[in-house]
């Protein structure tokens, strides 16, 4: 594996769309007690369910620290490849490589600088060295060359690509003081274009209410196909999500993509009932010094947009606990919007309790060379 200091765009490498063909999906075994509790059994079951769903469509590569290799092996089918790689937590979207591909189908990874979503300003834990080292370690393990994007701070959940030169991001995230405070918006946009080979960046103003990543775009808006997106929505004007979604909708309906096409925006309602942390759930966490904590009644950033495309499938988070009707609505809407895919709902409240959801715990590897 070569650690590269050139720019992917200069080398002819572009970030494919998630809806493009994939060969595998990366996940990281849940073990951090500040995210998954002293007894992570429910989180493990949720991760298993996601891995089983993905395995219907693509290979799963599960990463785990040495102490948890056997636990992962005992819980997962033989088809899941397990790699021993150290991590601080299980957010594969943000710490695993972002993959780019050239016209010949060659794959390379990008290792962004990771600082736990804000570093000393508003980061979610005090030590993140293992997470920051994970992307190059993974590329080394699978024999993929890796671009070193440091010191540019980014996470995979902060960007969506249509594969044709257009990116989706949020201002609330990428312009936050804990990311790249010395860079202007124009300079951040240039970095995105240089590393992901994009021609146009669409800057949504906001994301999901109370999203502790400073409102990653992958919880708010996603490409279904070129020039067509799905946007988290609520019709309830009294919900704190309403002005955030309204601002994004007003922005998107005025935009064109890199090829000059107007965007079609589909509204995907958030759960009807806010998903909040209970007293019992709060008592299960074991937080390290400097780690972000939770309070009983705290609203979590529940969104159906945090789904994963994987070849002919769409792995969708659902929440139950009074949201059965909105869960069904999300399944029906996405089935109608993506008739070429099988929508697989997975109960994901126990992932959301860690701070993210299905898209956050996964990172796709596009079809290409090498085959992993």
For strands 107-113 and 98-101, give the pairing. Answer: antiparallel
Strands (E), 157-279: 160-161, 166-170, 200-204, 221-225, 228-233, 264-269
Helix then strand then coil, % of the chain, to nearest 5: 30, 25, 45
Task: Give the Cα separation of 64 and 74 in Å (integer).
Answer: 13
Residue whose entry in the numeric block shows the structure tokens 């060295």: 129
For 252-319, the DSSP string reads HTT-B-TTSPBPEEEEEEPPSS--B--HHHHHH--PPTT-----TTPBP---TT--EEETTEEEEEE-
> Among this protein's residues, is 282 annotated catalytic?
no
CA distances from 170 to 49, 124, 217, 220, 301 (A): 30, 19, 6, 9, 15
Task: Give the Cα separation of 98 and 102 in Å (integer).
Answer: 14
Phi, psi of 100 (to 5 degrees): -125, 160
Order the strands of the 342-347 sheet from edge to edge.
308-310, 313-318, 342-347
Kindly list the catalytic residues.
Answer: 360
């Amino acid at each position: 594996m070569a650690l590269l200091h050139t720019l992917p765009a200069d080398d002819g490498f572009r970030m494919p769309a998630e809806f493009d063909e994939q060969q595998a999906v990366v996940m990281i075994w849940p073990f951090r007690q500040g995210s998954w509790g002293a007894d992570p059994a429910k989180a493990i079951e949720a991760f298993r369910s996601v891995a089983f769903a993905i395995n219907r469509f693509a290979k799963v590569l599960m990463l785990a620290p040495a102490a948890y290799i056997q636990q992962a092996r005992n819980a997962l089918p033989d088809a899941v490849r397990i790699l021993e790689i150290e991590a601080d937590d299980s957010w594969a979207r943000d710490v695993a490589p972002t993959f780019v591909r050239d016209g010949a189908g060659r794959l390379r990874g990008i290792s962004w600088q990771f600082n736990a979503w804000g570093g000393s300003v508003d980061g979610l834990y005090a030590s993140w060295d293992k997470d920051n080292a994970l992307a190059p370690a993974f590329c080394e393990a699978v024999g993929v060359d890796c671009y070193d994007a440091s010191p540019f701070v980014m996470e995979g959940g902060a960007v969506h690509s249509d594969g044709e030169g257009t990116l989706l991001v949020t201002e609330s995230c990428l312009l936050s003081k804990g990311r790249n405070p010395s860079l202007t918006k124009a300079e951040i946009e240039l970095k995105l274009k240089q590393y992901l080979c994009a021609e146009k960046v669409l800057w949504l103003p906001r994301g999901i209410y109370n999203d502790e990543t400073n409102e990653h775009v992958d919880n708010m808006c996603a490409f279904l196909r070129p020039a067509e997106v799905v946007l988290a929505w609520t019709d309830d004007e009294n919900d704190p999500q309403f002005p955030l979604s309204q601002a994004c909708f007003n922005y998107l309906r005025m935009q064109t993509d890199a090829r000059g096409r107007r965007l079609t925006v589909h509204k995907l309602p958030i759960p009807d009932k806010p998903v909040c942390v209970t007293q019992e759930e709060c008592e299960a966490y074991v937080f390290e010094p400097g780690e972000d904590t939770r309070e009983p009644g705290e609203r979590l950033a529940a969104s159906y947009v945090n789904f994963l495309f994987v070849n002919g499938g769409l792995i969708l988070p659902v929440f139950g606990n009074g949201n059965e009707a909105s869960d069904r609505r999300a399944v029906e809407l996405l089935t109608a919007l993506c008739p070429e895919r099988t929508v697989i709902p997975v109960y994901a409240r126990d992932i959301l309790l860690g701070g993210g959801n299905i898209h956050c715990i996964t990172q796709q590897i596009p079809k290409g060379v090498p085959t992993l």
